[in-house]
Structure 1
C-alpha cells in the first residue's frame, strides 16, 4: 500500500512540475484589414446567415484568432483578429491569396442591419470601414 502512495505522489509531482510554463513564447493580438465581404443583399427575420470576409495574412507569424464583434442597436462592427507570435524572424507574405473566414449571423426583428467591416486606418490614423446596410424583408 505504501508503494502505491509513493507512486501516486511521484506521479502527481511530476505532472505538476512537468507541465510548468517554461515556454517563453510571446505573442500579441492584432487587427488585420478586411479586403472583401460576402454578405446577402437581404435577410429574413429569425434566419441564420453565413457572412464571409477575406483578408491578407501579413506574415508567417500571423494566424487567425477570431473576430472583434460589437453591436449597438442595429449596427454591427466586425474586425478580423490575428494572434501574432513575437519573434525576430517573421517573414512577410506576398499579398496573393486572400484568406476566407466566416461567422454566422442570426437575424432578429430589426428593419435592417448596418455592418461596418474594419479596413484599417488612413494616413491620419482614423479607422476606416466598409459599411453595408442589409434590409430585413420578412
Structure 2
C-alpha cells in the first residue's frame, strides 16, 4: 500500500486583470488595394489609463468583411492613473487575397441600448 499526497495553493497575490475593448477613433487606410498587395493600416484610439495595456486587435473575418476593435489588458490596481485624451496609434499589415471590395467595420463603442456601433469603410481592390 502506498499513499500519494497532492496539494496546491492558490496564489491570491497574483495580479488580477481582465480584457477590455477600446473604440477605434480613427482608421487610416489606402483609397484602394491591389490584389496580393500588403498594406499598413493605422488605427488610433484613446488609452483610458496607465493600467490599460495594448494587447492586439479583436479581428473577425467573414468573407470580405473585417470587424476590428482594440483589445487591452486592464490590470486591476488601485493606483491606475487616468489619461485625458491619450490618443494612441497602432498599425497592422493587411494582405489582400480576394478581388472585389473589402469592408472594414471599426468598432466605435455601444449606444444607449448596449448595441454595438461601427464605422464602415469600403476599400475596392483594383
Normalising by structure 2, what TM-score? 0.87
Correspondence for 1:92: 82
Q: How does 1:65-84 map to 2 (within 5 A)?
A: 65-84=55-74
Which of 17, 21, 28 is residue 27 of structure 1 equivalent to?
17
Structure number with larger C-alpha Rg: 1
Q: Once superposed, what is the RMSD of the aligned Cα atoms?
A: 1.3
Identify, as 1 or 2, the structure richer in helix.
1
Q: How does 1:1-138 map to 2 (within 5 A)?
A: 23-95=13-85, 97-137=86-126
Structure 2 unaligned residues grouped into runs of 5+: 1-10
Q: CA deviation at 1:88?
A: 2.2
Moved over 2 A (4+): none
Structure 1 unaligned residues grouped into runs of 5+: 1-20
Identify, as 1 or 2, the structure richer in strand.
2
Deviations 1:54-107 (A, max 9, x none): 001001110100001001111000110010001222222101x41100111000
Q: State how far apart, in whole Å, the 1-side matches of 2:66 and 2:76 are.
A: 30
Structure 2 counterpart SS, 1:118: strand
Q: In the comparison of the two structures, how many residue pairs are matched?
A: 116
